[in-house]
A and B are shown apart, each in its own frame.
Chain A
Amino acid sequence: MQTYQARIYVTLRPSVLDPAGTAVESGLRHLGYDNVAHVRIGKYVELTLTAASEAIAREQLDRVCDQLLANPVIENYRFELTELAEASA
C-alpha cells in the first residue's frame, strides 16, 4: 500500500455568484490594488489516504469529492496527489 497526500481545491461554479469574493475584491481596491479583479473564494482541503495504486487513490478521491467535499450543484473541484516517501504498513 502507498500513502498519498491529496490537496483538494473546491471552487464555486462560474455561474454562481460569490458575494464574499466581491466584498474581498472591494476591500482590496480600497487598499489601492486597482489592478485586482475576479476574486472568487473557494475551499482547500488536505488529506492523506492509502491505496494500492495512484489510479485507485484518484478514483476514490473523485467519489469523496462528489459525495461530500463538493456540492456539484454549485461547486467544481480538482485535486493534486503526491506520493509520500514513507510507505505505510
Chain B
Amino acid sequence: MKNRFEKVRYIYIVGWIVVFIALFLYMQIKERYSFYFTEQWNIFLYDWPFVKSVLWQPGGLARLIADFLIQFFIIPYLGALISAFLLTSTGILTSIILKRLAPALHLSVLSLLPVISLLFLQFNINYQLSGTIAFLMFLCAFVFYLKIQSLVPRIIYTACFSLLLYWLAGPVASLFVAAILLTELFVNFRSFYFFLLPVALVYLLAIVSLRLGVAGELKYLLLPDGYFTWKLQAGNVIYQPWLLMLAVLLLALLFGQVKLVKKNIQVVGLVIQFVVFGWLAVFNSSFMIDSRHEIFKELDYYMRQENWDKLLERCREIDMNNYLYQNCRNVALAEKGLLAENLFDYKQGDLRSIYLSWDKTPYVSVLLSDVYFSMGHIALSQRMAFESNESVNNYNPRMLKRLVQTNLIYGAYPVAKKYIAILEKTKYYADWAQAQKQFLEKDEAVESDPFLGSKRKCIFPENVLSGKNGFDSDLKHIIDHNPTHRASIQYLGAIYLLLRDTEGFKTMVEKYYNTPALPALPKGFQQGVMLFAANDTTALKYYAISDQVIQSFEAYKNKRNSQNMYLNFLLK
C-alpha cells in the first residue's frame, strides 16, 4: 500500500516536472520573442512611492508581482522559465483542488485546461500577466478554503479572503466567491446560502470602487476584463480560463461522491480528458496565436538588439507581404548601408514599406520611432517615442531610452536627466542610464560621441515644421547638414523610387551625386537612373551605371526578362 502511494506520488511529481519542461520548451522554442516584446511595455521601479501607488489599487499586489516578474523577461530563457513556473503552479493547485473534491477520480489532465487557456492568453499583447498571478492567488485561497472543515470558520475565512483577494488580486475575487458558492451548493446544500454573503461583499466592494471612480464599468472590477487593456474590448476569449476552472470544478463536484471507479472506465476517462485537452490546445493555438504577430515580435527583438544580420536573415525565410516586416527590414538595410544598394533585391510595396501610416497604436509608434531615428529625423523619432510611451502610461523602458537619446541629441539635458532618473530606478536599465549621465550638460561630449554626435548633426539649423514642405524636403535638409549620415540619402532615394517619383529622384541624384552625401551610386539608385537616362549614354557614363544594370534594363525592355523585380515595380 505504501509502495503504491509512493509510486503514485512519484508519478505525480514526474508528471508535473514533465508539464513544466514541456511548457518551458514550448514557450522557449515557439514564443520566446513574446517575452521580450512584453517586457518593453512594463516597468518595475525600485521606488517605494511607485510600489505604494500600485499596491493601493484593487488588484495592486497581483499587478506589482506581474510587473516585478516581467522585468526579468528581458533575460533569455527567464521569460519562459517564469511563465512555465506560474502555469505549472496553476496546474498543480488546480489538481490539488480536483483531487480533494473528487478523490476517486483521476482528473489531473483536466487540471491542465485552465493552464492551456492561460498559456495562450498571455501571448495576447493586451492581456496582462497580473491576470495569471491573480488566478494563482485565487487557487491558493481556494485550496486553503477546502482545508477548513467547520462551517463558521469557513464562512469567516471566505468573507475575509473575498475582501482581501479583491484588494490584492482584483476581479478574481468574484471567481473565488463563485467557486465557493458552487462548491457549497454541492457539498453543503443546507448551508450554502451563508456563502451568498461573500458574493454580496465582493459586489458591494465593486460598487464602492465604481463610485470611487476606480473604473467606469463593473466588468473591469468583477470580470477578467480587468486584466486586459481597458482601452480595448477584450472579446470572449478573456473569459476562457475562468469558465474552464468553473467547468472542471463542476465536473469534480458532480462526480465527487463516486467512491470506486472501474479501471476501464478510468482509462476511458483519461482518454476523454486527453482528447479535450488536445482539442483545446489545438483550438487555442490556432485561435489565440497569430503567427504574423509572432514574426513581428521576433523582428522587433532584432531591431531592439540592432542585430541587423539576423533580422535580414529572418526576413529571407518569411513571406514579406507585410508592411511591418518591410519597415523592419528596410531599417536593417539602411543601418548596414545597403538600402540603396539592395532596395529592389527585396519585396517592396510602396511608401509604406519605408514608413507605415501611423495608426496611433503604441506598437506602430515604437516602430516608427526606430524608422525615423534611422533616417536621422530626430524630431519625428522623438515624437513617436513620446506617443508610444504616453499611450502606455509612460512606462516603456525602450522608449524612455530613446527619449534620453533624443533629448541628449537636442541638448535638452534637464528632460534627459529626468528620464535617466526614472531608468536608474530599474534593474536592467540602471547601468545604461548611469552611463548616459556623462553627456548631461556637456555638448562637447555629445558631439564627440560617434553615435549621439552623428545624430546631433542631423538637426539642421533652418527650422521647419515636419512634413510641411513634404517629408522629402526634411530629409534633404538633414542630408545638406549632415552628408555623412548615409541612411538619410538612402531613405530619400528609396522614397522617391517607391513613390515612382522619377522627377524627384532625378533631382536628388543630380543634386547629390559626386558630393560627400552620394559619392557613388549604389545599385538601387543606378536602377533608378535608368528610368530617366536609359537612352542618354553620356548620363549613363557620368553616373557610372554598371553594365549589369544596363543589360538588365535592356533585356526587360525587349521582353526577354519579365521577372525583373525592380523594373516590374518601377515600370508597371
The answer on A and B forming one complex is no
Residues of A within 8 A of B (CB): none
Residues of B within 8 A of A (CB): none
